[in-house]
Structure 1
Amino acid sequence: MRSRDAALDGIRAFAALGVWLLHVGSNTGVMYREGMFPWMMSRLGIAVPIFFLLSGLLLYRPWARAVIEDTPRPRPLRYLWRRVLRVMPVYWLVTGLALWAWSSFDWTGWAKWMLLLQNFFPGDPVPDGLYQMWTLPIEMSFYVLLPVLAWALHRWARGGNRPVRLLAGIAVLPAISVATVIAARELAQPQLALLLPYHLVFFACGMAMAVLSVWIGHSRVIDSLAPQLLVLAALLYALLSTGLAGPRTLTLPTLSQSLWRISLETAVAVLVVAPFALASHPGSLRDRVLGNPVCAYLGRISYSFFLWHAPVITLQLKIMGAQPFQGDFASVAVVSFVVTMLLSVGSYHLVEVSALKLSRHRSAPVPPPAAPAPLPAAPAP
């Protein structure tokens, strides 16, 4: 279990680095140049579906185990409390600093952003340095919905083959995503892309993977095919990096392009994560690369890295006086990486770890009172 978690942390680390590189490329204009490399850089947003899939996998797994193995189910209030402490403290720190520095919001604007409500007000301006935060309201919406989904799936799976029924129930969620994509394009409602239903397919794939990881454990088939799966992921990523999946700019894609994009992103995310979630092999090259201590540590601080990188890039470009899309790629990449890493290490150990300790302290079960010591035996007469 430890090696598998380390490799998944490594995936999270590379996903966070992908988001950072995407924003360095977009802010310096490199992403919009001609050639295959800029196109492939423009699709590094694949990191977001990978993040969503990992959330579905890791958070739903205890509920899947409860259904399949009859273990105790997680307590919803304890689970939600841990999620709040995991996400919000460092988010408040980074967002509060950016709002103070670069926004002119009144208290209502501050409240929207500090409570992760910004996606529900798509007409409001996005402050500088916070353009990456659109993913967090979607994550939090899933966190809140998951206990309800888990309860419904638990009831549905009772009787019959439980793992199969769980997978059948989870299969409804991708259909919701497809329907939302169609509605967003056909009804000209692009703001639907900022809401959870649009992205449910990624979380659902993670939930299905959680069921499989409990049901079948280590899959020898996936283990033997892991190199081919990762190569296929790379090939599909190359296909994703074409006009088939829509433009590189903020121009809205067509319905066909949107469906191609969400399908290819889902396939790439599943193919990347499955060899580690369903066929962890500590001795394999793939696990040694992603599960080594450096990658695992970068994965642990990846949330702070994700939060800090955009404000750091924004501040650097403002100090440089760079025009939009005209900054120097190399200098922005090097400086923003170093500064973001330093801030991430600090906020991880000072904020994230402290909050996690608090959540463990608050959620730790109270030990039963010790039995009274037996009275000493009466001396023999």
Structure 2
Amino acid sequence: MNANRAAAPAQQTKRVGGLDGVRALCALGVAAVHTSFAAGVMGAYTARPGNQALADLLAGLRPLALGPFFVLSGMLLYRPFARWTLGGGERPKVVPFLAKRLARLWPAYILLSLVCVFLLNFDAVDGVWYVLRPILMLQVYDYTWIAGMDPAWTVPAEMQYYLALPLLAVLMHWLARGTADPVRKVRRMMVPLALITVGSAVWTYYIHRPSMGIYPTKYWWPLGVGGAFALGMAMALLHVLAELRPERKPALYRIAASHPLLFWVGALAVYAFNCTQPFGRPGYGDYEGVGLALTQYGLLLVFSYLTVMPLSIPGTKSRVVDAIVANPVSRYLGRISYGIYLWHFAIMYFWFKTGSVFGTQPGLMNQLRGTIGFPELMTAVLVGSILAATASHYLVERPLVKAVGRWAARKDGATRTAATAQDAYTVAGPR
């Protein structure tokens, strides 16, 4: 009976409004940071900030706003696997898992790729590989700059962690063997996650050394965001452990459940500290040196944990937090947040009227910055990306995700039926 109770929540598909709201805030934060740089608000190298106070606030979001995306992915996607190991439930089916992840990320990404390649970068097309490279998410390795897809390097990173997650789950399941105590299982399962977190910090140090130069091609590889993904997986373990052993909930779990606003105040303090850009220059979007990069790596993990943890605990309530992330507008923007993140940079190029469709080569943001005011550009980015994200969500993403979901449900149902028949055969014998 305990195994059935542990496995049952893995089938739930209801969205959590607060988590959608966090996605909305993060997507809008990333868009604001990039827009402020393009509009000349944030400083860069020899260019001084156009508005120091606003630049300080927006530079503080960089790169904190990315963290919760990866933490949420690690937490929500690993939770069914954690229930399998800790609660003795059924192991999630890998093929349906990967099919649903592919349907969630790839179609909207392909649409963006085709628009950017043929409308903004058509003059640069020198063969089929130029078109296939971004579609196959390989431009981060065979590095090619494609205007409009500037921040989309995180999508291949996310996809590669999706592919790795089932393998990592099997490894952690193997490490948990030999003990029936869920607490001891969790301790063993934390070892690979700790190694990933440390390895990601080492990689951050490596790519930010002065000898690597500014934005080396290896910067776009997925290793730098591994710590956030591992943090999400660790949080999934804590959630499942709290389900199985409610009398032994960790202290931070109990505090987050009873005082969610306190966690958000802590996240706000982390953000305020990052606005000072320790080891860097407040209000500037320079490529980080080693000191700033490592500091921000740690701050990103703390900020993401404090932001996401209280919202992910069932039954947790806070009027202030709910007013920010659980209102209808935040929840809607959260549902289309992936599209907002994908499209906001491309919208800037279209608003600047630079690219093949305008008869020009797409200009670099360093060349375009300051030619349009921040209010005008931010308004265009918000309206354009929300419209593009809405169209992508309802015309491309949602239909395909639902279709793959129905296929996965049928496949899972057929598997369960076959397993039930086999159990009956085993118990009763052939007739």
TM-score (norm 2): 0.79
1:167 to 2:212 alignment: no
Amino acid at match of 2:377: V
Relative to structure 1, is the Cα distance of residues 178 and 209 closer, same or farther in structure 2, using a 3 angstrom cutoff? same
Give matches, 1:30-69, under 5 Å: 30-32=41-43, 33=49, 35-44=52-61, 45-69=63-87
The total of aligned residue pairs comes to 369
Q: Distance in 2 between matches of 1:66 and 1:151?
A: 10
The CA RMSD over aligned residues, in Å, is: 2.6
1:157 matches 2:165: no
Find the aligned partners of 1:204 and 1:223 in 2 and give their Cα distance: 22
What does the per-residue CA deviation read over 1:342-362, in whole Å, with 9 as the maximum and x for residues that have no partner? 221111111111111121122
Q: Shift in Å at residue 329 of structure 1?
A: 1.1
Which of 206, 211, 222 pairs up with 2:232? 206
Q: Quick one: distance in 2 between partners of 1:288 and 1:250?
A: 31
Aligned partners of 1:159 and 1:266: how far apart in 2?
31
Among residues 122, 128, 132, which one is paired with 1:107 in the alignment?
Answer: 128
Offset, 1:272: 0.8
Matched-pair contact (CA < 8 Å) for 1:8–1:273 = yes
Instruction: Answer yes or no: is the 8 Å Cα contact 2:258–2:316 preserved in 1.
Output: no
Q: Which residue of 2 aligns with 1:121?
A: 142
- Equivalent of 2:256, from 222, 228, 231? 222
Match of 1:15 in 2: 26
* Residue 194, structure 1, aligned to residue 220, structure 2: yes
Q: Partners of 2:286 and 2:301 in 1: how far apart?
A: 22
Distance 1:31 1:238 in 2: 17
- Find the partner of 1:325 among 351, 359, 370: 370
Equivalent residue for 2:289, pick from 254, 271, 288:
254
The answer as to whether partners of 2:260 and 2:316 remain within 8 angstroms in 1 is: no
Give the Å deviation of 1:3.
Answer: 8.5
Identity %: 29
Contact 2:37/2:369, CA 8 A, preserved across alignment: no
State the Cα distance separating 1:317 from its structure 2 match: 1.5
| 1:359 pairs with one of 399, 404, 407 | 404
Cα deviation for residue 229 of structure 1 reads 1.8
Following superposition, the deviation at residue 191 of structure 1 comes to: 3.4
Distance 2:264 2:86 in 1: 29
Cα deviation, residue 263, structure 1: 0.8
Q: Deviations over 1:323-345 (max 9, x none)?
A: 43331111112222122212211
CA-to-aligned-CA distance 1:94-137 (integer Å, 9 cap, x gap): 11011101211232122211111111123x3x222111111111
Alignment partner of 1:143 is 2:162: yes
The amino acid of 2:219's aligned partner reads: A
Does the aligned pair in 1 maintain the 2:204–2:224 contact within 8 Å? yes
Q: Quick check: 1:179 aligned with 2:202?
A: yes
- Give unpaired runs (5+ residues) of structure 1: 372-381
Q: 1:299-318 maps to which residues of 2 (within 5 A)?
A: 299-318=334-353
Q: In the alignment, which of 293, 302, 316 is matched to residue 281 of structure 1?
A: 316
Q: Relative to 1, partners in 2 of residues 1:214 and 1:287: Cα closer, same or farther, differing over 3 Å?
A: farther
d(CA) in 1 for partners of 2:232, 2:172: 15
How big is the shift at 1:279? 5.9
* Mapped contact 1:82–1:356 kept (Cα < 8 A): yes
Q: Is the 8 A contact 2:71 2:304 kept in 1?
A: yes
Instruction: In structure 1, give the amino acid aligned to 2:108.
Output: V
Provide the rounded CA distance (Å) in 2 between the counterparts of 1:362 and 1:91.
22
Q: 1:153 corresponds to which letter in structure 2?
A: M
How many angstroms apart in 2 are the aligned matches of 1:340 and 1:41?
Answer: 19
Q: Could you tell me which residue of structure 2 aligns to residue 83 of structure 1?
A: 101
Deviation, 1:186, is 4.4
Map 1:328-343 to 2 at 5 A. 328-343=373-388
Q: Secondary structure at the match of 1:31?
A: coil
- Structure 1 partner of 2:37: 26
Secondary structure class of the residue paired with 1:121: coil
Cα distance in structure 2, aligned partners of 1:107 and 1:245? 44
Instruction: Work out whether residues 79 and 236 of structure 2, in 8 Å CA contact, stay in contact via their aligned partners in 1.
Output: yes
**Could you report, residue by residue, the CA deviation over 1:297-339 in whole angstroms, capped at 9, with x for unpaired residues?**
2111111111121111210112799943331111112222122
Give the structure-1-normalised TM-score: 0.89
- 2: distance between equivalents of 1:163 and 1:286? 30
What SS class does the counterpart of residue 140 from structure 2 fall into?
helix
Cα distance in 2 between the residues matched to 1:177 and 1:141: 15
Structure 1 counterpart SS, 2:288:
coil
Q: How many Å apart are 1:77 and its aligned residue?
A: 1.7
Q: Which amino acid aligns with 2:107?
A: P
- Aligned residue for 1:14, secondary structure, equals helix
The Cα offsets for residues 258-302 of structure 1, whole Å up to 9 and x where unpaired, read as 211111111111111111123642464313431233222211111
Q: CA deviation at 1:21?
A: 0.9
Contact 1:281–1:287 (CA<8 Å) still a contact in 2? no
Question: Which deviates more, 210-219 or 81-90?
Answer: 210-219
Q: Do the aligned partners of residues 281 and 3 (structure 1) sit closer, same or farther apart at CA in structure 2, a change above 3 Å counting?
A: farther
Q: Which runs of 5+ in 2 are unaligned?
A: 1-11, 44-48, 244-248, 422-431
Q: Which moved more, 1:281-290 or 1:294-303?
A: 281-290
Conserved in 2, the CA contact under 8 Å of 1:212 and 1:278? no
